[in-house]
């Protein structure tokens, strides 16, 4: 592939105002979908050529789904059949220059009339470089595939050692973070331990496999209701997950995880699902960034600017109802993206802007077969089979594209009847968790 | 993951004779499936944890299918529910020692009573290290994923350059080898050029995209009938593939492909589908290897041994009907695997062995939508829609597992009606075609 200095953005000149969207996540695509190219020239940048449905990423990591089932190519989503004057570029944005109204990318600068930052989040290791180096994150497709291969390779290798301590280390899986990702991952691993792994690895004793879920607060799923937390705790315990509440991880050197209490667990696999911070881009005034997120007003305008916006997880909109900002899930991003499309049209017509009002549709988390929890509006909390069925329905319907809906549904039906996680291939060309040099290469050349 | 010296094979002791199978391809799995563990302890080694249905690998490379649809985990295939005393180990075999009846692997040696070499083939670059370094092979799942990402990235980058020569180089795809892989790949790329790419990349002029198929002999699909070759040539030409017969590639430096004639083509992507040689393992006497394949008698016994066998592509069985060996396709491997299972049981019972007789079920190749060619027994040759329908049917039915059949069929039905190749994600964590150092790491530690 070519080096960045051989490339240029090649965005055609236009008489329409130019809207630059950084990020093809939930916020970015819902904004762009409402703008069919009639009022604005839309330029979208992303470092991936696809939109990912991240709530299902943990199923890619546990062999339940393939990446293509949860991801949709952005060019397919915005094909020229339906969207005119839409321009996608697979490139990393490196900085914002509000004074000149330009954005810098690895391969050149571009002027904008309106700029939307919809970059989402990145893992937050709270400054612990050792954990950053050795832990397995679960935020991107390659990371999910890498984790899947890691887990399967642990069993392969556990099968090939006679040393009890080594084997135990391979069979200990520590998941840091009791939010939705951590809980759903722990549940999926526990289901695999029951149904799939014992027949795959008759030489291993799966009572030795430990799934340890570590949460710093005093309950799992802290963003959900207490009822949901309690049910989830019960379900996970029934599935044999070792839950450690009020527990913080102090370090991990690739072999030993050390808790703040001093306790140590030997493990080859520590999965980091503990925290995220906004993927803020350089160039905004310091005063606009608070705790890693970009401060915006009710119209998602970045503090002090009327033509720069931030939406979704990277934005921090403080309201009386959400003084610390909206929850970091898909719905606020989707709703902010849609509203911003309206507001941009209002701006063109010199009309007043509409403030954002979050419509909380509720929260769901799946723990295992027939086990899920739901917090619905009007203080409706329940679990069990009904929550599980709702979870499946909501997630299939939310997927982009008919093909993805069909494939995911077929996979789940198949899995329900066969207890099988279909996809257990170990595929990782050149991926080693501790090889940050390669990762740097990727970041630099945008080759992920 | 652990280093090889921390691991050992851990195969349980047994009173049954031990059969070691190297390779989980068509030959290996058909042999093992017929031995349910009652007569032999079966030990299978492979460097991948899955069996791949390689005739469809080109569809993974062109975004038509996901890896999991064409691959089946070997442990799932031989789960303990159905196969007793079967032991799979994900490890590379490094040598054979007939004098001590042992096999060496990266993590230790093992004694065998019977040994079956079913390792298939590896790409043959005919000693040209430059081509080996820069060409894209298409023999394994990671290679197919890498090629898919490469092709898509070429379009992304072509869209981001104003230099006409650079753009042309990105839009030139040279496929070396006019056998089934080369032909099917050329056809699939040509179909994408017609249906998918123009709406994905409205900024590119796809009349500039060239698909150049290079074949050293005087016709495409040389292993098939002259009728099939002629039809294939016509179909490919109709699809706009630039076919160069009697043409040999002399070199490729990652930027310029040079033919023996001296002609040069600038291209970022040269795909090597030109030749294979047997993946022979060290340790057999020199006299047993001829042109990269292992000489076997009619019972697949390696020349000079009665307890070492070679089956499938790695074996060279010369018969009056096939003086140069059987064709390098799935059927001979499948049939030899099945027969060998019978013959191994004959050996246990001191019964005479049955000689191999190839049952040629015919050959098929698909070129594009509604276009395929078929050579069936009794000199039956035809093309067009009927051959295409047969190709689809045969390939779906040949897939291992109900899930794979279902998923592949759904994908094809979807594609037929929508003209869409569903899976166009660029996912390659740490894969760079010229990074042989990383490949060496993989080979050494068997981490693919």
Angle separating helix axes A164-171 and A141-158, nearest 10 degrees: 150
| Contact assessment for residue A110 and residue A103, using Cβ atoms and an 8 Å cutoff | yes
| Mean pLDDT value of segment A35-54 | 91
B184 in catalytic set: yes
| Contact criterion met (CB below 8 Å) for A368 and A184 | no
A399 contacts on B by Cβ (under 8 Å) = none
The DSSP symbol for A54 reads G
Q: Please check whether residue A252 is in contact with residue A270, taking contact to mean a CB–CB distance below 8 angstroms.
A: yes
A10 band by pLDDT with thresholds 50, 70 and 90: very high
How does pLDDT run along chain B (448 residues), one tens digit per residue?
777 788 899 999 999 999 999 999 999 999 999 997 789 999 999 999 999 999 999 999 998 888 888 999 999 999 888 898 999 999 999 999 999 999 999 899 999 999 999 999 999 999 999 999 999 999 998 889 889 989 999 999 999 998 999 999 999 999 999 999 999 999 999 999 998 899 999 999 999 999 999 999 999 999 899 999 999 999 999 999 999 999 999 999 999 999 999 999 999 999 999 989 999 999 999 999 999 999 999 999 999 999 999 999 999 999 999 999 999 999 999 999 999 999 999 999 999 999 999 999 999 999 998 999 999 988 899 999 999 999 988 888 888 777 788 778 877 877 777 776 666 777 764 333 334 434 443 344 333 3
Residue among A143, A184, A191, A215 flagged as catalytic: A184
CA pair distance B138, B329, nearest whole angstrom = 15
What would the pLDDT profile of A349-365 be if each residue is shown by its tens digit? 999 999 999 999 999 99
Which residues of A are less than 8 Å from B44 in CB distance? none
Sorting pLDDT into bands at 50, 70 and 90, what band is A416? confident
pLDDT reported for residue A296: 98
A-chain residues within 8 Å CB-CB of B48?
Answer: 425-426
Closest residue to A162, CB basis, from B2, B8, B410:
B8
Which contacts qualify for A341-348: CB closer than 8 Å, 24 or more apart?
Answer: A341/A30, A341/A31, A341/A32, A341/A33, A341/A34, A341/A35, A342/A34, A343/A299, A343/A300, A344/A19, A344/A35, A344/A39, A344/A40, A344/A114, A345/A39, A347/A114, A348/A17, A348/A39
Instruction: Please indicate if any CB of chain B lies within 8 Å of the CB of A1.
Output: yes
Mutation for A interface: B12, B14, B68, B71, most A CBs within 10 A? B68
Alpha-carbon span A166 to B436, nearest angstrom: 31
Q: How many CB pairs under 8 A join A and B?
A: 217
In this predicted structure, the answer to whether residue A3 has a pLDDT above a threshold of 90 is no
The full set of domains in chain A, from first to last, is: 4-47+91-123+277-348 (3.50.50.60), 129-274+370-443 (3.50.50.100)
Residue of A nearest to B63 (CA): A68
Q: Which residue has the tokens 């939930």?
A: A26
**Of B447, B441, B401, nearest to B74 (Cα)?**
B401
Residue B187 C-alpha from the chain's centroid: 18
Give the helix ranges, DSSP H, for A16-116: 26-33, 57-61, 67-70, 74-77
State the average pLDDT over residues A88-107.
95
Strands (E), A205-359: 210-214, 242-244, 249-252, 256-259, 264-266, 269-272, 276-278, 289-290, 293-295, 308-310, 315-316
CA distance B432 to chain A (A): 9
Residue numbers in B near A199 (CB within 8 A)? 79-81
DSSP category for residue B37: S
Q: Is B434 touching A (CB cutoff 8 A)?
A: no
Q: Which of A45, A61, A68 to mutate to test the interface with B (most CBs of B within 10 A)?
A: A68
Q: How far apart are CA B320 and CA B359, in angstroms?
A: 14
pLDDT digits (tens, 9 = 90+) for A157-200: 999 998 999 999 999 999 999 999 999 999 999 999 998 899 99
- Give the ipTM of the model, two decimals please: 0.89
Place of tokens 């067009």: B384
Place of tokens 């040389």: B222
């Amino acid at each position: 592939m070519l080096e960045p200095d051989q490339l240029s953005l090649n965005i055609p000149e236009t008489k329409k105002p130019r809207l630059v969207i950084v990020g093809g996540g939930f916020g970015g695509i819902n904004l762009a979908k409402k703008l069919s190219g009639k009022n604005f020239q839309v330029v979208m940048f992303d470092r991936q050529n696809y939109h990912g449905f991240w709530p299902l990423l943990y199923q890619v990591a546990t062999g339940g789904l393939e990446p293509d089932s949860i991801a949709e190519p952005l060019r397919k989503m915005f094909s020229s059949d339906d969207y005119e004057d839409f321009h996608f570029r697979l490139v990393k944005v490196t900085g914002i220059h509000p004074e000149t109204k330009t954005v810098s990318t690895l391969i050149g600068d571009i002027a904008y009339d309106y700029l939307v930052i919809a970059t989402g989040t990145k893992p937050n290791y709270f400054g612990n470089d050792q954990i950053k180096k050795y832990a397995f994150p679960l935020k991107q497709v390659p990371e999910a595939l890498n984790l899947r291969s890691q887990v399967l390779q642990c069993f392969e290798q556990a099968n090939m050692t006679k040393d009890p301590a080594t084997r135990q280390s391979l069979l200990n899986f520590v998941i840091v973070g009791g939010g939705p990702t951590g809980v759903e991952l722990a549940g999926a691993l526990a289901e695999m331990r029951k149904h799939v792994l014992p027949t795959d690895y008759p030489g291993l004793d799966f009572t030795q496999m430990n799934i340890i879920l570590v949460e710093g607060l005093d309950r799992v799923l802290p963003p959900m209701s207490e009822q949901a937390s309690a049910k989830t705790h019960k379900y996970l315990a029934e599935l044999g997950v070792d839950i450690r509440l009020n527990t913080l991880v102090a370090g991990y050197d690739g072999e030993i995880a050390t808790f703040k209490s001093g306790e140590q667990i030997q493990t080859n696999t520590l999965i980091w699902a503990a925290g995220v911070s906004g993927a803020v881009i350089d160039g905004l005034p310091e005063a606009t960034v608070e705790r890693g997120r970009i401060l915006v007003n009710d119209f998602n305008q970045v503090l002090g600017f009327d033509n720069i916006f931030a939406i979704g997880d990277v934005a921090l909109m403080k309201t009386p109802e959400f003084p610390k900002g909206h929850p970091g899930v898909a719905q606020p991003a989707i709703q902010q993206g849609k509203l911003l499309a309206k507001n941009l049209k209002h701006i063109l017509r010199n009309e007043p802007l509409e403030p954002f009002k979050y419509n909380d549709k509720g929260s769901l988390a799946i723990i295992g077969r027939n086990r899920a929890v739901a917090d619905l509006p009007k203080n409706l909390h329940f679990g069990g089979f009904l929550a599980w069925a709702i979870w499946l329905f909501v997630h299939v319907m939310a997927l982009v594209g008919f093909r993805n809906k069909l494939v995911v549904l077929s996979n789940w039906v198949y899995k329900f009847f066969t207890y099988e996680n279909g996809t257990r291939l170990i595929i990782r060309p050149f991926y080693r968790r501790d090889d940050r040099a390669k990762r740097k290469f990727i970041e630099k050349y945008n080759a992920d």
